[in-house]
Amino acid sequence: MSQPLAEFTTLRLGGPAERVVTATSTADLVNAVRAADARRERVLVVGGGSNLVVGDNGWAGPAVLVRTTNVAVRTTATQATVTADAGVTWDDLVADSVAAGWSGLAAMSGIPGSTGGTPVQNVGAYGSEVADVVTGVQVLDRHTGAVEDWPAERCAFSFRSSAFKHTDRFVVLTVTFGLPVETDAPPIRYAELARRLDVEVGERAASKDVREAVLALRASKGMVLDASDHDTWSVGSFFVNPFVDETLVPDGCPHWPTDEGIKLSAAWLIEHAGFGKGFGLDRGDGRVALSTKHTLALTNRGGATTAELLALAAVIRDGVEGRFGIRLRPEAHLVGVEF
């Protein structure tokens, strides 16, 4: 039976899938994808739906919901090795790691979605990213049908990207993290978080304090899911922070040197191209608009369509390019649409 994919995305947008299959174990997930591939069906694997933009026409094939929940832990005196199924809710895993006295995940508190999506996107926040702590990923190779265990170095992690990002060949089954057994988080790398914690950049703080500070910061920007708050009906940051040559850095734009080039603040570019918080195609009174709390989030204000959301995204993208000569690209995963 067809079912609207809007029910499974944080944007609450997306047309129907031909049918929906729920996988509650890794074996179920592998078998469902293998069976669809054997029938030469187009299969869409859906985790938490927090980074997914689905077209209004939906998906002409099965959608497999990843609802696997197992977490296995091995500990020594100095390190916890944590292997989580792809369907484990990410923030639950973060909260449990902090409570257990394991370091490395606290700065990524409050990020919506499931654990299986984290290596795909190389999820990160406030100066941390999962590439810092991932030690291995188990995947299904849909070309061969084999289940493979990948070491972290094979994942080709880079800023908000990985070997899994631009292909549907691999389905993440489990993710393994190496987390130091210590109550302090890694050194704070992000100035806004350091100020919130009243420490200097490079200093450390207790993981529980880092988690509380990050959750408060994210909530202030509409980045913690709340069904009653339309500012959270989004995919978080719709556009990724761009990398440019140093000669293209606009005056006054926050920027950070990296191995990949100079990283710019996409939020600053959007705001200084004339698109403020709450901006919509009819100046914020319609069904889609920028969040009233954060200009990187494009939001469904209720009753919107994916076409409307992408029309707004295109106006913002083109406006930034016209003003600064820098073309923003989506961070979100787009399905059944062109942008």
d(CA 315, CA 157): 31
Task: Collect contacts of 248-255 with beta carbons under 8 A, ≥24 apart.
Answer: 248/324, 248/325, 248/326, 250/324, 250/326
| 186-218 burial code (b ≥16 CB/10 A, e <16) | bebebeebbebbebeeeebbbbbbbbbbbbebb
Q: Is 232 helix (H, G, I), strand (E, B) or coil?
A: helix
Q: Which residue in 240, 259, 258, 256 sits closest to 326, CA to CA?
A: 240
291 is catalytic: no
Among residues 117, 311, 77, the alpha carbon closest in space to that of 319 is found at 311
Catalytic residue among 103, 207, 308, 331: 331
- Distance set, CA 41 to CA 34, 37, 63, 80, 235 (Å): 10, 6, 10, 40, 27
- Is residue 128 flagged as an active site residue? no
Catalytic residue among 162, 237, 265, 291: 237
Distance set, CA 120 to CA 26, 67, 86, 164 (Å):
17, 17, 11, 5
Which one of 34, 42, 154, 160 is the catalytic residue?
A: 160
Residue whose token pair is 């070491």: 151
- One DSSP character per residue, 250-292 reads PTT--EEEETTEEEE-HHHHHHHTT--TT--TTTT-SSEEE-S
CA distances from 280 to 56, 57, 89, 162, 283 (A): 20, 23, 32, 32, 5
Is residue 246 flagged as an active site residue?
no
Identify whether the C-beta of residue 256 lies closer than 8 Å to the C-beta of residue 277: no
Q: Return phi, psi of residue 199, to 5°.
A: -130, 170
> What residues contact residue 144 under an 8 Å CB cut-off, 6+ apart?
none
Parallel, antiparallel, or unpaired for β 255-258 and 170-180?
unpaired
> Which residues are catalytically annotated?
160, 237, 331
